[in-house]
Amino acid sequence: MGLLYDLSTKYKTLSIVGMAKNAGKTTAMNYLIEEAMDDGIVLGITSIGRDGESQDLVTGTEKPRIYLDQDTIVTVPTQLYDLADAGMEILKKTRFSTPMGDLLICRVADSGYVQIAGPPAAMDTKRVCEEMFGYGCELILIDGAIDRKSIASPETSDAIILSTGAVLSRSMKKVVDETAHIVNLYSIPEMEECQGRRLIEENNFDDKIMMIGKDGEVRKLDLTTGLGAARYIDDEIDDNTEYVYIPGAFTNSVIADINPKKLKRVKFILKNPTKIFLSAMDWNQWRKKGFRVNVLKNIEIAAITVNPWAPSGYTFDSETLRQAMQDALPDIPVIDVRV
């Protein structure tokens, strides 16, 4: 029994997320699919975007193809259905549409290569998964083929498998540090159950920035993004403000001009860690200044896969990279799927 069997006892849906193109995400997907074949696990496969083509549609580089075993449940748009090498039985035409046609839920009747695709919206992916379970899936793998960070959203799946590797940098230390930074962000503590959380959840229907007071006052700003709005947010923080809820992207420009005393006094609340766009250096500097943050929902990382090869030609020693990553992240399984 391999990694996928262990994960299937804990999770029902897993997203596979790449730190960058050529981080080994599709290779990791194929490895897990092969494990499912060996362990007799009935898989469901879907995607945000498109994957399984032999050549990257953006970079033109060769890509691993996706081979699916008999009885796998898979989502395929109408335009890709006829391109499959595998024989596929159409189980349902869904209500979801894609740029490549209406989305079909199919059962693989004869094993072969398939180009997979799914609905472009994360919430629609969740609904598709619910339908796929009705056809006998034991575990669903969600491939993040276009936007490799939004697929990590906790609304999409139970946990993620994060693929990283040499493509990030010629420095192994930088590869490890950048990956550890993302893992640390995804593990930011969730906001405790309290009046402030209840008020945010009750009033967050229009994705506006909110000020939550110690006395239960809720003030919405006429802003859906905090980008470049630090001075405006600073003006709105008063002695009563306990939480500042930011629904959108969180960057330096959101907090750069906030008075340091106010920055220490309030706590920032974000939807989830995928909204954070700060480098490890900037993140650590803000934390040293007393900046505090929680999320409504964090992201569980089930495993990390490492790819020691970069398309530009340089490589790391596989075991050295794997061990360095494991040392930095001791609580998460780290594997090179090609070893």
Domain with residue 60: its CATH number is 3.40.50.300
Asked if residue 52 and residue 139 are part of one domain, the reply reads yes
Asked if residue 54 and residue 182 are part of one domain, the reply reads yes
Asked if residue 204 and residue 310 are part of one domain, the reply reads no
Asked if residue 208 and residue 127 are part of one domain, the reply reads no
Overall average pLDDT of the 31-52 stretch: 85
**What is the distance between the alpha carbons of residues 240 and 161, in angstroms, rounded to a whole number?**
41
Asked if residue 157 and residue 256 are part of one domain, the reply reads no
Contacts of 27 by beta carbon, 8 Å cutoff, 6+ apart: 64, 163, 305, 307, 337, 338
**What is the distance between the alpha carbons of residues 310 and 314, in angstroms, rounded to a whole number?**
6
Work out the pLDDT band at 227, boundaries 50, 70, 90.
confident
Asked if residue 210 and residue 157 are part of one domain, the reply reads no
Measured between its terminal Cα atoms, the distance across the chain in Å is 16
Q: What is the pTM of this model?
A: 0.88
Number of domains composing the chain:
2
Asked if residue 181 and residue 74 are part of one domain, the reply reads yes
- Could you read off the pLDDT of 139-170 as tens digits, one per residue? 999 987 534 455 567 778 999 999 999 999 99
| Least confident among 151-155, 286-290, 304-308 | 151-155
Asked if residue 85 and residue 24 are part of one domain, the reply reads yes
Domain extent, residue 237, equals 195-295
Asked if residue 291 and residue 330 are part of one domain, the reply reads no
Asked if residue 150 and residue 239 are part of one domain, the reply reads no
Asked if residue 118 and residue 99 are part of one domain, the reply reads yes
Asked if residue 284 and residue 309 are part of one domain, the reply reads no
* Whether the predicted pLDDT of 238 surpasses 80: yes
3-class state of residue 160 by DSSP: strand
Sole residue written with tokens 């090498």: 85
**What is the distance between the alpha carbons of residues 242 and 287, in angstroms, rounded to a whole number?**
18
